[in-house]
Amino acid sequence: MIKNIFLDRDGIINEVVYRNSKIESPRFINEFRVKDDFKNFYTSIFNKHICLFITSNQPDISRKLITMEELELMNNQLINDFEFTDIQYCPHDDSDNCECRKPKPGMILNLLEKHLTIANNII
């Protein structure tokens, strides 16, 4: 039985934004749209005692293309509309070589440590 699900945000939970023929993350709350596919998925797992986590690379923060306030508005919308156990994002750019930026496991490891009782269910 699945007890914990870790999801990326952009393109999985919310729609991506096309700027100059490039796929990008939303930068403003008015660009942030939750995908119907995710809504259907969420409905199918709701009330099944599954912990749902978001891990998301958000390099536009360090690139100064999005403010922390706009990112928090998006996170708050997700928290208000869905029952996520936790949301974690990496604000670093590719060149920062941090441990939290996916595909490195830093965000997942941090969430497992933070929610140890939940993590014990999957170990």
Domain CATH number, residue 96? 3.40.50.1000
Bridge-based pairing state of the strands 51-57 and 4-7 = parallel
Q: The domain containing residue 21 runs over which residues?
A: 4-119
Q: What is the pTM of this model?
A: 0.87
pLDDT in tens, 56-84: 999 999 999 999 999 999 999 999 999 99
Contact (CB, 8 A) for 27 and 75? no
Q: How many domains does the chain have?
A: 1
Closest CA to 24 of 48, 49, 51, 57: 57
Closest CA to 56 of 105, 10, 15, 16: 10
Quote the CA–CA distance of 13 and 40 in Å, as a whole number.
11
pLDDT in tens, 36-63: 999 999 999 888 888 999 999 999 999 9
Q: What is the DSSP string of 7-32?
A: E-SBTTTB--EEETTEEE---SGGG-
**104 confidence band (pLDDT: 50, 70, 90):** very high
